[in-house]
Structure 1
Amino acid sequence: MRVSILYPFSCLLSAALVSGEASEAACDELASVLPNSTFYPEAPTYNASISSYPFLQLRLHPSCIVRPNSPHDVATALSILKDSNCTKFAVKGGGHNANAGFNNVEDGVTIDMQSLNHVEVALGDEVVRVGAGSLWQDVYDVAEKRNLTAMGGRIGVVGTAGFLTGGGISFFSPEHGWSCDAVVNFEVVLSSGKIVNANATSNPDLFAALKGGQFNFGIVTRFDLKAYPATTLWGGRTVYHPNATESLLTAYTNFKMGEFDPYAAGWVTVRYNHTAATFSPISIMWYTKPAQKPGALKQIMDVKPQLMDGKVEAPISEHTRNASRQVVADPERTIWTTTSFSISPRIMHRIHKLWADLVPEVSKQYAYAKPIAELTFQALPGPPRNGSSPNSFGFTADETPEKDLIFLQIIFTFTDAAATEGFEEALKDFLKLIEGVSKEEGVLHRYKYLNFAASFQDPFSSYGGDQKETLKKVARKYDPQGVFQLQVSKGFKLF
């Protein structure tokens, strides 16, 4: 019971009191203090917020939704919730994390940051200031008007907040590293209600912790991001004939084992559609220096036969807008998990064979849910170097994950909630088998990318024991009552 020792007023000790009545009372108080920002289930704004979640399993129903219009509104809401008999709450940025309960709550209170969606470019200092409710499409559209861009998401409908506090992988990550390392300042509301800035000189321990530690310390209300010159990208989706799968995996293996190219980004996926009983190999790759294309992507682009070539040269905003159409076209349920390994000549082929041999049989058991399974391989960014401010991932400056490592995403997308438990167990089985193969090859790596981790995983432990202890110290310092450990409904917690 270490948590209750650390936090003597622990909600764990009064769990019996935490009920629908308590959350309703909290909602009533929120409505009295923030009447224009608190919404009940009968309100159109409430229903719009619920329907904005991109995956169906996320569409839970809180007792009320608070949509703050300022950091001070966030502070007010936190103060009420902290004193509300341990009412559970969740915080929604873009709402793209696939783990149910991580960005919404059944009963309880959801703080929807959607109204904090301002994007502005600061004159003279080349900083893009982004509200925590902004989507990346908003950021790119505004910044490109000033011939600037940012280290953001590769799908426009992804939110800025969870993406950046979980790490963030950008088109420019091979060259510049994690997106969170392009944050120059976080504006944060602490559980005390105090609004602070976290940057290299002010609260630097909190600054590092927020780069990978997510919501364990406070609610970020604004990100100040380093701006980069706007550019066009060359690339996009290529769909290959199923017979090209082995060639594509070999090409990506050679790409990773060859000379590192900082302008080549993206991933390869093998997709299994159970209804059609087909496997589809796909590459989604970009080159950030179009005049020099295809660079190290040549072997991947040369794989044949191809069924569709969607590569174009276009502004970032066009690539992300196109990618968003794939996500929002037909909302379904999805669950995913992740692991990492060092590249070797055989490992991608071995993992794929294991998965491809088993996934049709797994999918057959839940055919009524019309499952689609995906196996995706992509590169990790490099750590901060040259004296840059640290992040929380535990890689040292002399490590080269951008060259050596691949992280894997294993996904099921489906239509029927009844299949959820079965697919979650299947993910656990796949993870155990794949990590077994990776260990046998001597290439298994500790790291688990938080933004793609399943609810049953512990990404903070994968950062390394010392790093997790550091995060715990920061949480105790900035949230001494443990509000974000005990009252936030779900998520990756430190205690």
Structure 2
Amino acid sequence: MVHIRRFAFRVAAALVYVSFVQAQTISSVCQRISNSISLASSVFYDPEPSYLADIYHYAESSSQTSVCSVEPGTAEDVGIVLTILGSTRTLFGIKGGGHIMNPNYSSTAGVQISMSRFTAVDYDSSTGTVVVGAGNIWDNVYEALLPYNVNVVGGRVSGIGVAGYTLGGGYSYLTNQYGLTIDTVRVFELVLPNGTVTNVTESKHPDLFFALKGGYNNYGIVTGFTYQTYPQGLVWGGQNIYLGQYVDQINAATADFANNVTDPKAALITTYDYQDGVFVISVLMFYDAPTQPAGIFDGFLTVPALSADVSTRDYLDLVLTENTSTSANMRGYYNTVPLMDITLPLLEAVVSQLQYWQSILSSDSGTLFSYDVEPFLPTILTHGSPSAYPWTRAERFLPLNVYFAWTDAADDSDFYNALVATAANLTAVAVSEGQVLVPVAPHYPNYALYGTSLASIWGTSLGEMIVVKEECDPHNVMGLTGGWKIPI
């Protein structure tokens, strides 16, 4: 027994020593970066405030303590940083808004790159496009475009980062009219792993342009996006919150909207929540005009609301109605089921799953159990060209979002397993209803839980993506960072 204890102590000491050596090695890389970048960029260390802001993520479980953080201020400096990291084979993370739920996807124990200095929003009225820096959140973009009465196809709630959201696909209140966010990108400003800065367009770089639309950070670091803009005036909408006792009425209204509303200016998110043990339902309603036509949302507006915040407002004010701060700084994961249709039996199954997992896990450290139902028209994928995600545009699928949040790291595996199980259960319900393509449909990568197969994320796109990856990143520099990774 004494020998075993001594052996265990030596192993633990050896691991601590290895970690120390690795940290010292990475620290030298941080210093090399600091000595090589321009005055437009900076390197920070714990406990400097900028460092703490750079490593912060919305979910505590997505944050890591890096050796240093880097805030590049120019695309050229991003290139310098990438070449140093690649030549030294140093692990790194790339953070835009920091809202990703999967651990290690935009964080690292190595060098954290924060895109926080890429905050330009430059509108060009002559082309009807806007160049947006990769460090923005959508709130900033909407605010900057308000004076011009134009808008972009972007995030639906406050605090969502531009970069990860776009590179993963992007579903918006405007998607029924204009498609996914990736369908509206005209140019990606990309820093390749060799440090070269290039503007990727569909006409000049068709293969790389295809791969970037859903391919995340596998080809380099995107520092800016040029989006098509669209006319935008006042809108009607907001959020109503209902007590769980009205679930049957909300289910009926949601199923009716999903199957009968064909007006592309209308959009909806119905969310079933257990928040601190209380069953509530929130409904985000949207219509792209100052008033909504009679009848579209009557099924919701006639139900007594616990709170109601629906009115005519500007687009930014609409986005700010959804407050995501209640689950910030907690641990949390997403998962998704790509539905073909939203039916009343399926919604009843969603409620059943919500109630079951709340009853099972609330005694751990669970404080939020959430299922978001998001109807879209069958035509949304006709607005764009082929893309890595979704790999098929023959049929659109609806990205059901499941989100659990908790406080104790010891419960991580329980919640992970629950998210896997609830997705499997809802998939089975969908298949039993005749939605036979759900098990093999594209999983929305911005919602997909880590461990989801690459075949479920990229499907038949993967072969072409690998070819592009081998051309752009033959030494797999981008494999040193987190996220959905293309194997080469």
Q: Say whether the fold is shared (TM-score over 0.5).
A: yes
Paired residue for 1:4? none
- Give the corresponding residue for 1:199: 201
**Shift in Å at residue 207 of structure 1?**
1.1
List aligned pairs for 1:23-38, cutoff 5 A.
23-34=26-37, 36-38=41-43
Alignment pair present for 1:224 and 2:219: no
**Counterpart among 110, 116, 119 of residue 117 in structure 1:** 119
8 Å CA contact 2:251, 2:344 repeated in 1: no
DSSP 3-state at the match of 2:370: strand
- TM-score normalised over the length of structure 2: 0.89
* Cα distance change on mapping 1:301 and 1:395 into 2, 3 Å: farther
Q: Is residue 125 of structure 2 the alignment partner of residue 129 of structure 1?
A: no
Shifted more, 449-458 versus 180-189: the winner is 449-458
Measured after TM superposition, the shift of residue 466 of structure 1 is: 2.1
For 1:377 and 1:17, the matched residues in 2 are separated by 46
Deviation at 1:228, TM superposition (A): 1.2
Is residue 350–residue 437 contact of structure 1 (8 Å, CA) maintained in 2?
no
What is the Cα deviation at residue 385 of structure 1? 3.2
Report the CA distance shift for 1:143/1:356 in structure 2 as closer, same or farther (over 3 A): closer
For 1:22 and 1:379, the matched residues in 2 are separated by 50
1:289 and 2:281 correspond: no
1:76-102 Cα shifts (integer Å, max 9, x gaps) = 000000011x21111001111111211
**Deviation digits for residues 383-419 of structure 1 (CA, Å, limit 9, x no counterpart):** 5537x532222465553x2xxx432111111222222
Contact 2:270–2:283 (8 Å) recurs in 1: yes
**Partner amino acid for 2:78?**
V
- Mean Cα displacement is larger for which, 433-442 or 164-173? 433-442
Pair 1:442 & 2:440 matched: no
Question: What's the secondary structure of 1:269's corresponding residue?
Answer: strand
When structure 1 is superposed on structure 2, of 158-167 and 236-245 the one drifting more is 236-245
The offset of 1:39, in angstroms, is 1.1
Equivalent position of 2:3 in the other structure = none
2:385 equivalent to 1:385: no
Residues 197 and 98 (structure 1 numbering): CA distance in 2 closer, same or farther, change over 3 Å? same
- Cα distance in 2 for partners of 1:457, 1:228 equals 35
Contact 1:363 1:371 (8 Å CA) reproduced: no
Q: Percent identity?
A: 27
Classify the secondary structure of the residue corresponding to 2:186.
strand
Q: Report deviation, 1:261.
A: 2.0
Q: Is 1:483 equivalent to 2:469 in the alignment?
A: no
Deviation at 1:320, TM superposition (A): 2.2
Look up the match of 2:484.
492
2:92 is equivalent to residue 89 of structure 1: yes
Match of 2:335 in 1: 337
Q: How far does residue 238 in structure 1 lie from its aligned partner after superposition?
A: 0.8
Task: Read off the aligned partner of 1:320 and give its amino acid letter.
Answer: V
Conserved? CA contact 2:291–2:312, under 8 Å = no
> Structure 1 stretches of 5 or more lacking a match?
1-14
Contact 2:445 2:457 in 1 (8 A): no
Give the counterpart letter for 2:190 in structure 1.
Answer: V
Provide the residue aligned with 2:147 in structure 1: 145
- Residue aligning to 1:317: 316
Q: Give the C-alpha shift of residue 148 in structure 1.
A: 1.6
1:297 to partner: Cα distance: 2.8
**Residue 65 of structure 2: which of 53, 56, 61 is its match?**
61
Note the C-alpha offset of 1:143.
1.1
| Pair 138,190 (structure 1): closer, same or farther in 2 beyond 3 Å | same
In structure 2, the CA distance between the partners of 1:383 and 1:464, relative to structure 1 (3 Å rule), is farther
Indicate how the Cα distance of structure 1 residues 105 and 294 shifts in structure 2: closer, same or farther if over 3 A, else same: farther
1:219-271 per-position Cα deviation (integer Å, ceiling 9, x unaligned): 10110011111222211111123221122112111211114221111210111
For the residue of structure 2 that corresponds to 1:306, the secondary structure is coil
Unmatched segments (≥5 aa) in structure 2: 1-17
Whether contact under 8 Å (2:386, 2:393) holds in the other structure is: no
Native 8 Å contact 1:347 1:438 kept in 2: no
- The residue type equivalent to 2:29 in the other structure is A
> Match for 1:248: what amino acid?
I
Q: What are the residue-to-residue correspondences of 1:294-443 with 2, within 5 Å?
A: 294=294, 296-302=296-302, 304-323=303-322, 325-327=323-325, 331-343=329-341, 345-366=343-364, 369-380=365-376, 382=379, 384-385=381-382, 388-394=384-390, 396=392, 398-399=394-395, 401=396, 405-443=397-435
The 1:25–1:295 alpha-carbon spacing in structure 2 relative to 1, beyond 3 Å, is farther
- Cα drift, residue 46 of structure 1: 0.8
SS across alignment from 1:449: coil
CA distance in 2, matches of 1:191, 1:200: 20
- Do structure 1's residue 21 and structure 2's residue 24 form an aligned pair? yes
Distance of 2:274 and 2:46 partners within structure 1: 38
Deviation at 1:452, TM superposition (A): 0.9
Give 1:181 shift. Answer: 0.8
Contact 1:167–1:180, Cα closer than 8 Å, also in 2? yes
Aligned pair in 2 of structure 1 residues 121, 384: CA closer, same or farther (>3 Å)?
same
Equivalent residues in 2 for 1:270-289, closer than 5 Å: 270-273=272-275, 275=276, 277-289=277-289
CA distance in structure 2 between the partners assigned to 1:317 and 1:151 by the alignment? 13
Of residues 94, 99, 103 in structure 2, which corresponds to 1:100? Answer: 103
The residue identity in structure 1 corresponding to 2:67 is: S
Q: What aligned pairs does 1:35-54 form with structure 2 within 5 A after superposition?
A: 36-51=41-56, 53-54=57-58
1:72 paired to 2:76: yes
Counterpart contact for 1:362–1:426, Cα < 8 Å: no
CA distance in 2, matches of 1:431, 1:364: 19
Q: 1:78 to 1:17 in 2, by over 3 A?
A: farther
Partner of 1:451, secondary structure, is coil
Q: CA deviation at 1:448?
A: 0.9
Length-normalised TM-score, structure 1: 0.88
